[in-house]
Amino acid sequence: MNPSDLNILRKINDDLKESEASEISTLCKGLSLEAFADLQYNPLPDFPRIIQWLPKMPSQDVQESWCGFSGDPLKIRTVSILDELIKNYLQEGISPLETSNVLDFGCGWGRFLRLLSKFVPAKQLYGVDPWRKSIELCHSTGMKGNIHLSDYLPRDLPFIDQTFDFIFSFSVFTHLSKKVTEISLNTLQGHLGQNGVLMVTIRPISFWDFKIQQRQDISAEKIAHLKQQHLDHGMAFLPRDREPIEGEVTYGDTSISIDYLKEKLNELHLCHVINTGYFHLQNLAIFKRI
């Protein structure tokens, strides 16, 4: 950690009284995101008030099983992804980040929300996830913000009348069935405020070529069928061994075309698409309400 960040952290630690422990973003303006992340992944005893305010990290096993990495490698990837999300929001959005209402759709254990608290007051941070264990982990580790359980087929959000300036969903639509995808996109579109920005990651058709190399139990014929399904319908879905919900398995591996997204998000304008290079060919699609 560089000397400038250490000096800022000392001041934040001095200024962060227990009586003011509901907020920290106003104190972190000069602090780098890398230093804020490092303090969470590698807590330093020199800053006890900050450490007390910050949520605890989930176990290494949870980090690895949910994200594929843990510790510093996960920190580096998370900071890089969040940098990309924020950069594009600042480019396309109207509201300053610090005054925006932000929703993480499929927040998991709060991987991104805990770092966003550097920029955004906790009362403006929202997260939903349909897996109860995700929400329990957020609460048990002391995550701040409005974090609630959602339905697996989210025809609405727990925040019924709330609109958002910034909605993002990372590594979520890469796993959803057609039915859940369409319901989720419609719900998110309905909750996006005027001039709001929506970002989702999707996998292109080339993902299936990677998939056949990864799994020996998928035949070339099955992959060919999935690729044709993508070409014919704009998306393809390979379910995993999960319990059906409302008559179908909702979780698996998914590819989605940009044209399919544009059709389902027909109230929004596609700004651009970025190849993130993360997690097996995920592309970041950025939409805006105008």
Q: What is the pLDDT of residue 35?
A: 96
Per-residue model confidence as pLDDT tens digits over 55-74: 999 999 999 999 999 999 99
**Is the confidence at residue 134, as pLDDT, over 80?**
yes
Q: Which two tokens stand for residue 107?
A: 């927040």
Domain 70-288 in CATH: superfamily? Answer: Vaccinia Virus protein VP39 (3.40.50.150)
pLDDT digits 0-9 by tens, 101-117: 999 999 999 999 999 99
Q: How many CB atoms lie within 10 A of CB 239?
A: 15
Helices (H), the chain: 3-15, 33-41, 48-53, 60-67, 71-92, 113-116, 132-140, 178-191, 207-214, 220-233, 258-264
Torsion angle of C-alpha atoms 6, 82, 50, 13, degrees rounded to 10: 40
Helix axes 33-41, 3-15, angle to 10 degrees: 70
* 252 alpha-carbon distance from chain centroid: 18
Q: Is 145 left (phi over 0), alpha (psi -120 to 50) or beta?
A: left
In this prediction, residue 147 carries a pLDDT of 98
Backbone angles phi, psi at 32, to 5 degrees: -70, 150
In the structure, what pLDDT confidence band is assigned to residue 19 with cuts at 50, 70 and 90? very low
Q: Where are the domains of the chain?
A: 3-53, 70-288
